[in-house]
């Protein structure tokens, strides 16, 4: 008989925690999983899933406009925020139930409440203690809002999914993918939208040409960009509107301010300090290649370790950990060539190195580029353009980076990522016959480099 209540105690039922718990339980491991909010974590409840539903909704007004060029006549459609919000909420509630059934059917014991570490093998939830041979922390992250005067009047993306009323005027603060995506959502749904950010350009860390191209395209769609701008204070006025005092002395009036200035590991109250578990300056839990913390019985995966804040990465980490611990099959996660998408308008899809990174890593690279107006827009009347870009190591001929800004970029780049993972060369791309007429075929028809 084991000396512990459980073999594995998982703190957090988000993407990584659920994957690890389900897999381990299916192998006969005695698993408990504690969650103090909703099953499914950020992605299901206030992240990728509801955000993508909102992105879909935000495209319709533009699509109705495009339809006239194809012969469709229609009256001006009306948007009802409550319908979108409530339909989204029902879908999330359905997914919560799906996650619960998956965990229970796999054999996990669900415990509702915030778990705290009280020892290397002991967890406390709602005043009750549980012992476990191993503990896995998978609590994710939480939006960070700077401490400015009037902070109580602003929201994060968490609250944006549940607004009582849809605002006429919105200010989104932050130039990362959450800020850029929500700026497109609010604008597409009909709000006058401003995007404020303190840097020169949006989407730090992405390919510079992609950043510049995307900024131009989203500005075309009516999002007002405010680079090199910071908010010093927010004041609520008598009519309910918000007055923003900017660092440059200017003022703006709006109905809603949403901060998207990053997410921090959700480690408060976990009891890490009491066990001496090492943390990075931003609170992230420090782990080795086996996701083991400085306390050997405690592990961590997902956003709380702040390697790559992506749901599929947390899933991969959970899978690798369980296979290593219980499958007699040690694995490590390969963080190279992870594709990602930004669901702004138009979408961004990217995999591999940026041009800047490629030039640092390789002696010589070739850059292939295509910038065009998609076939659809020859009749839609839209001035939206598409950018596609291939980066090739001139010596090995391997394609080391692929970037796209355009409709369905994420869907297209997922397939391209497989080719890069397999080590495809530019000649393999050239030998691949395209599907015509599609935007995607441009990736196999770019013959001459535009620079090297």
Distance CA 219, CA 224 (A): 6
Check: CB of residue 413 under 8 Å from CB of residue 426.
no
Tracing tokens 């415990």 back to the chain, one arrives at 111
Catalytic residues: 436
Distance CA 134, CA 136 (A): 7
**Angle at 140 (CA atoms; ends 347, 354), nearest 5 degrees:** 35
Q: What does DSSP say about strands 169-173 and 256-259: parallel, antiparallel, or unpaired? A: parallel
Calculate the alpha carbon distances from 413 to 338, 341, 343, 359 in Å: 10, 8, 13, 22
Check: CB of residue 423 under 8 Å from CB of residue 398.
yes
Tracing tokens 């090297």 back to the chain, one arrives at 452
Sort 226 into a burial class: Cβ within 10 Å, 0-12 / 13-18 / 19+: buried
Check: CB of residue 140 under 8 Å from CB of residue 42.
yes
Distance CA 59, CA 1 (A): 58
Rg (CA), the chain: 24
Q: Locate 443 and state its tokens.
A: 């990736």
Distance CA 308, CA 6 (A): 29
Calculate the alpha carbon distances from 303 to 52, 309, 423 in Å: 20, 5, 28
Sort 75 into a burial class: Cβ within 10 Å, 0-12 / 13-18 / 19+: exposed
Distance CA 103, CA 97 (A): 10
């Amino acid at each position: 008989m084991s000396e512990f209540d459980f073999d594995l105690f998982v703190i957090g039922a988000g993407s990584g925690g659920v994957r690890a718990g389900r897999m381990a339980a299916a192998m006969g491991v005695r698993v408990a999983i504690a969650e103090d909010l909703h099953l499914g974590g950020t992605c299901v409840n206030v992240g990728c899933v509801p955000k993508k539903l909102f992105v879909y909704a935000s495209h319709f007004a533009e699509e109705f406009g495009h339809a006239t060029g194809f012969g469709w006549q229609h009256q001006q459609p009306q948007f009802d925020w409550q319908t979108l919000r409530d339909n989204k909420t029902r879908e999330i509630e359905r997914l919560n139930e799906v996650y619960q059934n998956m965990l229970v059917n796999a054999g996990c014991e669900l415990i509702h409440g915030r778990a705290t570490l009280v020892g290397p093998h002991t967890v406390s939830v709602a005043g009750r203690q549980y012992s476990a041979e191993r503990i896995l922390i998978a609590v994710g992250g939480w939006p960070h809002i700077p401490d400015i005067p009037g902070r109580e009047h602003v929201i994060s993306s968490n609250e944006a999914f549940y607004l009582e009323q849809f605002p006429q005027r919105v200010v989104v603060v932050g130039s990362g993918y959450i800020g850029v995506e929500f700026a497109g959502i609010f604008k597409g749904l009909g709000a006058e939208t401003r995007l404020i950010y303190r840097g020169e350009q949006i989407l730090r860390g992405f390919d510079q040409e992609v950043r510049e191209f995307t900024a131009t395209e989203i500005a075309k769609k009516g999002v007002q960009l405010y680079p090199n701008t910071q908010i010093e204070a927010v004041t609520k006025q008598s009519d309910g509107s918000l007055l923003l005092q900017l660092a440059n002395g200017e003022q703006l009036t709006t109905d809603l301010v949403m901060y998207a200035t990053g997410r921090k590991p959700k480690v408060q109250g976990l009891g890490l300090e009491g066990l001496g578990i090492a943390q990075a300056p931003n609170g992230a839990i420090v782990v080795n290649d086996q996701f083991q913390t400085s306390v050997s019985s405690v592990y961590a995966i997902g956003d709380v370790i702040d390697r790559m804040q992506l749901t599929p990465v947390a899933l991969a980490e959970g899978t690798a950990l369980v296979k290593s611990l219980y499958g007699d099959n040690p694995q490590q996660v390969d963080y190279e060539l992870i594709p990602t998408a930004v669901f702004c308008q138009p979408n961004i899809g990217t995999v591999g190195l940026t041009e800047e990174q490629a030039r640092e890593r390789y002696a010589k690279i070739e850059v292939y580029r295509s910038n065009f107006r998609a076939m659809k827009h020859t009749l839609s009347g839209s001035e939206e353009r598409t950018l596609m870009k291939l980066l090739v190591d001139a010596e090995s001929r391997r394609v080391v980076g692929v970037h796209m800004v355009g409709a369905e970029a994420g869907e297209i780049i997922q397939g391209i990522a497989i080719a890069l993972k397999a080590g495809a060369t530019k000649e393999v791309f050239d030998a691949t016959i395209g599907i015509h007429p599609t935007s995607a075929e441009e990736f196999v028809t770019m013959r001459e480099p535009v620079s090297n």
